[in-house]
Protein backbone atom coordinates (compact mmCIF):
# COMPACT_ATOMS: atom_id res chain seq x y z
CA UNK A 1 0.00 0.00 0.00
CA UNK A 2 2.68 2.46 1.07
CA UNK A 3 4.90 1.48 -1.81
CA UNK A 4 2.10 2.17 -4.28
CA UNK A 5 1.73 5.65 -2.83
CA UNK A 6 5.43 6.31 -3.14
CA UNK A 7 5.37 5.11 -6.73
CA UNK A 8 2.41 7.34 -7.49
CA UNK A 9 4.14 10.33 -5.91
CA UNK A 10 7.32 9.69 -7.84
CA UNK A 11 5.33 9.28 -11.01
CA UNK A 12 3.54 12.57 -10.42
CA UNK A 13 6.81 14.26 -9.52
CA UNK A 14 8.24 13.02 -12.81
CA UNK A 15 5.33 14.49 -14.68
CA UNK A 16 5.43 17.82 -12.89
CA UNK A 17 9.18 18.37 -12.65
CA UNK A 18 10.75 16.42 -15.47
CA UNK A 19 13.97 18.38 -15.13
CA UNK A 20 14.23 18.07 -11.36
CA UNK A 21 13.41 14.42 -11.02
CA UNK A 22 15.23 12.51 -13.65
CA UNK A 23 13.39 9.30 -14.34
CA UNK A 24 15.12 7.01 -16.67
CA UNK A 25 15.55 3.45 -17.73
CA UNK A 26 18.72 1.76 -16.66
CA UNK A 27 19.81 -1.28 -18.56
CA UNK A 28 22.23 -3.80 -17.19
CA UNK A 29 23.45 -7.11 -18.43
CA UNK A 30 24.65 -9.84 -16.11
CA UNK A 31 26.81 -12.58 -17.51
CA UNK A 32 26.76 -15.27 -14.88
CA UNK A 33 29.81 -17.52 -15.17
CA UNK A 34 31.38 -20.14 -12.96
CA UNK A 35 34.99 -19.39 -12.24
CA UNK A 36 37.66 -21.32 -10.39
CA UNK A 37 39.48 -19.43 -7.71
CA UNK A 38 42.53 -20.63 -5.89
CA UNK A 39 42.94 -19.65 -2.30
CA UNK A 40 45.88 -21.14 -0.43
CA UNK A 41 45.97 -24.74 -1.60
CA UNK A 42 42.29 -24.95 -2.30
CA UNK A 43 40.62 -24.39 -5.67
CA UNK A 44 36.92 -24.02 -5.81
CA UNK A 45 34.33 -22.78 -8.25
CA UNK A 46 32.48 -19.56 -7.52
CA UNK A 47 29.63 -17.91 -9.37
CA UNK A 48 30.67 -14.59 -10.85
CA UNK A 49 28.67 -11.84 -12.49
CA UNK A 50 30.48 -10.03 -15.31
CA UNK A 51 33.71 -11.64 -14.04
CA UNK A 52 33.20 -10.03 -10.66
CA UNK A 53 32.64 -11.51 -7.26
CA UNK A 54 30.64 -10.19 -5.52
CA UNK A 55 28.56 -8.99 -8.43
CA UNK A 56 28.38 -5.43 -9.71
CA UNK A 57 26.59 -2.63 -7.88
CA UNK A 58 23.56 -1.22 -9.60
CA UNK A 59 22.88 2.47 -9.30
CA UNK A 60 19.38 3.79 -9.58
CA UNK A 61 17.25 6.60 -8.27
CA UNK A 62 13.73 6.48 -7.02
CA UNK A 63 11.40 6.25 -9.98
CA UNK A 64 13.96 4.70 -12.29
CA UNK A 65 13.17 1.57 -14.17
CA UNK A 66 15.91 -1.00 -13.88
CA UNK A 67 16.09 -3.68 -16.53
CA UNK A 68 18.57 -6.45 -15.98
CA UNK A 69 19.23 -9.03 -18.62
CA UNK A 70 20.68 -12.08 -16.95
CA UNK A 71 22.48 -14.65 -19.05
CA UNK A 72 23.16 -17.80 -17.09
CA UNK A 73 26.21 -19.62 -18.40
CA UNK A 74 26.20 -21.96 -15.42
CA UNK A 75 24.90 -25.46 -15.92
CA UNK A 76 22.52 -25.32 -12.97
CA UNK A 77 19.67 -23.03 -12.06
CA UNK A 78 20.37 -20.16 -9.73
CA UNK A 79 18.67 -17.17 -8.22
CA UNK A 80 19.97 -13.62 -7.95
CA UNK A 81 19.27 -11.48 -4.91
Residues 21-50 within binding reach of ligand NAG (CB under 6 A): 34-36, 45
Task: Tell the smallest beta-carbon distance from residue 35 to ligand NAG (Å).
Answer: 6
The span from the CA of 30 to the CA of 24, in Å, is: 19
Binding ligand NAG by CB under 6 A: which of 4, 38, 77, 79?
77
Contacting ligand NAG (CB under 6 A), which of 16, 57, 76, 81? 76
Report how far apart, in Å, the C-alpha atoms of 22 and of each of 19, 34, 52, 62, 65 are: 6, 36, 29, 9, 11
Nearest to 30 by CA among 76, 5, 67: 67
Nearer to ligand NAG, 4 or 77 (CB): 77
Amino acid sequence: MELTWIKLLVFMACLSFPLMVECRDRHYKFDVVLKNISRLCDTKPIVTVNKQFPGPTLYAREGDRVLVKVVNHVKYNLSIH
